[in-house]
Structure 1
Amino acid sequence: MVAKKDISAGGFFSREFRMQALAAASVNIITYCNGISIGWFAPMLAKFQSPTETPLNFVVNVGESSWMGALIGVGGLTGNIFFGLLMDVIGRKACIYLVAVPHMCLWVLVYFAPSVEFLYAARFASGMTGGGTWSVIPIFIGEIADPAIRGRITALFTLTLNVGMMTGYIISSHVSYHIIPVSVILLPVLFLLIETFFPETPIYLLRSGKEEQAKKSLKFYMNHRDSMEKDTEQFNAKFEEMKSAVKRQQSQKSVTLRDYFTKRSLRALGIGLTVLFFNLATGSYALLSYMSSIFVAVKTEIHADTNTIIIGAVQIIGSFIAIILVDRFGRKILLMISTATTGLSLAAFGVYAYLVERTNINLSSFSTWLPLVLMALIILTANVGIIPVPAVLLVEILPPKIRAKAVAFCLCLTSVFAFTMLKVFPLLMDAFSVATAFWICAAFGGLGFFCITLFVPETKGRSMNTDEE
């Protein structure tokens, strides 16, 4: 067994972790790009629907805008399936390159859009990019990262996504429509160039029978120096552990449907799907998509652009806190704290919405700040745990033999639920009330706290190469 390392001894960017951290940062450039497209769309949708503000030669109606909102979920489902199946065939690295293709297509479609159908296709491409990043990047990082920093550098995924969304919010308000695609499309090109410096994961190379390449890859990611005896000992121990794990997996029969129905696999799939379900059921994804409508409904006096930028900053702060804490306190405790506090914050916002919608109480002295503060609390507490941690937990808890396809399966179901949530949430607010919608999400937050407390194990420090109960 390889001795566990203490990150506090050498620091996050100590020599032995440096290449892993740089690889995680570089691969998340495409996540940042995807965040820009998501953040850019949110305020642009209102402009597309306005005859005086639309930058295009046509106006989008309410029905078309709802499809534009939901098609990202369809694209996400397609990306989950496509990249999830392809990962074990052509490798993690090749899939990472391919993820950039739909993203570049997205900006070409946006630039030339002569009709709403081009915007539909652009949203589908955005979703496919997102589905690909969710499928490939956590597995890629999980397979190159030392357990001491795996949680932190996997959580970079959510941080870069949120920074990208914040960038999208800002440029949509201050940069001309046709300049944005021309500028942003350069980022995936840069991403492709940078990625050429980082090798395929050693685990995938070993499974492909490329032992010498696997050795070089592991040496690269461990920042190994042949002249240092300690480095050589650690490398040999790590490589032998990987080889043994891969041989053990390959000595078994090829993956069959039965492998997904073992007690170990079903338990892992159940836990993964449960956490992903509460990731969406607590409502943060829907709230970000319909935030402007929510603030209008509760009669806030803060400008929509100001709200959006502040919430974007809060997302980044929450993601940064998660990166600091996820390897210190573990996955389970962050999920417990996050679901509980998000649920309470949702309930509090629901109370405020109820007072606005159903009573005659004068809340004018609160309308300039309280809705924003409550929404910021929801987004902050969600980004500390229930949004970023499922990506970490999912790749750690699933057995190596079925991991790639099982992750894709879980994310496919998540995309279906995300699509449903985005279609149902505004109808729920309209048919009942904003308060009711928030209280339902709050109830799921409470239920999530109890389910995670009772059924979700701690996965901090687990080996990615062996099955662990």
Structure 2
Amino acid sequence: MSVVYQALCTFIVCFIRMSLVISFSWPAFTTSLFKSEDTPLHRPMTEFEVAIYGSMLSIGALIFTPVMGLLLDVLGRKKCMMLAAVTHVFAWVIIVLTNRVEALLSAMFIAGGGVASFLVIPVYIAEVCQPSVRGTMTSCMMLAYGLGMLVSFLLAIRKTCKNVLRLNRAMLDKLSAFGVFEIDAAFSLRLLSALVPYTVMLLQFAFLTS
């Protein structure tokens, strides 16, 4: 396997790490919005919900990470990585499709399953990369971590992000599914925006490591 191929594989798995780090920092700049009267959710968050909102992802990671450690040798590194990415995608699909507080908290808990990839990534890189570049490639994990934090907070302070939040608060006609949750009429566009990048990433990962 060429060094370029190894670097490309490392970039893909580090992209997964970067996207998960964005989920970690997301509550930091959305908590004040979700607990205000101008919230895009169906009601403002209570003090208790605000308290657990930022920790639900870590609670999920606490539960899913030991399970992923057991699955590493059962399913293999590649499948465990894809499983972690799928749980993260599923969590964002829930966030996109519903505006209920309970669903948001559940989605953050499910996203904790994606954090289990932090366990898989160094093992995968160490096995894929040759010894001469293994240290350099492994250090890309921490680079992706810092880059994810930077991107997340840069997006939070930009005017374009504020405009997106303003548009999300302007709910269109709603569809009620058995009274369990409400779906915005524009959910298809939001669903595509959430699924497309992760679908491309998963396809790249599948082909590169096949």
Using the size of structure 2 for normalisation, the TM-score is 0.78
Aligned to 2:103: 118
Distance in 2 separating the partners of 1:151 and 1:44 = 36
CA apart distance, 1:16 = 4.6
User: Structure 1 residue 78 and structure 2 residue 63: aligned?
Assistant: yes
User: Structure 1 residue 29 and structure 2 residue 15: aligned?
Assistant: yes
Aligned to 1:143: 127
Unaligned runs of 5+ in 2: 169-188
RMSD, matched Cα: 2.2
Aligned to 1:443: none
User: Structure 1 residue 106 and structure 2 residue 116: aligned?
Assistant: no
Aligned to 1:166: 150
Aligned to 1:190: 200
Unaligned runs of 5+ in 1: 1-14, 201-469
Aligned to 1:49: 35
Residue number among 120, 139, 143 corresponding to 1:155 in the alignment: 139
TM-aligned CA distance change 1:32 to 1:180, over 3 Å: farther
Whether the 8 Å contact between 1:141 and 1:153 is mirrored in structure 2 is yes
TM-aligned CA distance change 1:96 to 1:149, over 3 Å: same
CA shift digits 1:323-376 (9 cap, x unpaired): xxxxxxxxxxxxxxxxxxxxxxxxxxxxxxxxxxxxxxxxxxxxxxxxxxxxxx
CA shift digits 1:299-324 (9 cap, x unpaired): xxxxxxxxxxxxxxxxxxxxxxxxxx
Q: Residue 185 of structure 1: SS of its match in structure 2? A: helix
CA shift digits 1:40-66 (9 cap, x unpaired): 3220111111113x2222111221111
CA apart distance, 1:85 = 1.0
- Percent identity over the alignment is 30
CA apart distance, 1:153 = 1.1
Residue number among 78, 81, 95 corresponding to 1:96 in the alignment: 81
Aligned to 1:448: none
Whether the 8 Å contact between 1:171 and 1:180 is mirrored in structure 2 is no
CA apart distance, 1:164 = 2.4
Aligned to 2:45: 60
CA shift digits 1:41-98 (9 cap, x unpaired): 220111111113x222211122111111111111112221222111101111111111
Aligned to 2:3: 17
CA apart distance, 1:128 = 1.5
Q: Residue 159 of structure 1: SS of its match in structure 2? A: helix
Code of the residue aligned with 1:157 in structure 2: it is M
Code of the residue aligned with 1:120 in structure 2: it is L
CA apart distance, 1:170 = 3.3
Whether the 8 Å contact between 1:40 and 1:171 is mirrored in structure 2 is no
Aligned to 1:231: none
Using the size of structure 1 for normalisation, the TM-score is 0.37
Aligned to 1:199: 209
TM-aligned CA distance change 1:160 to 1:129, over 3 Å: same
Whether the 8 Å contact between 2:60 and 2:112 is mirrored in structure 1 is yes
Whether the 8 Å contact between 1:102 and 1:126 is mirrored in structure 2 is yes
Q: Residue 60 of structure 1: SS of its match in structure 2? A: coil
Q: Residue 197 of structure 1: SS of its match in structure 2? A: helix
Trace 1:391-402 onto structure 2 (pairs within 5 A). Answer: none
TM-aligned CA distance change 1:181 to 1:163, over 3 Å: farther
Aligned to 2:54: 69
TM-aligned CA distance change 1:164 to 1:186, over 3 Å: farther
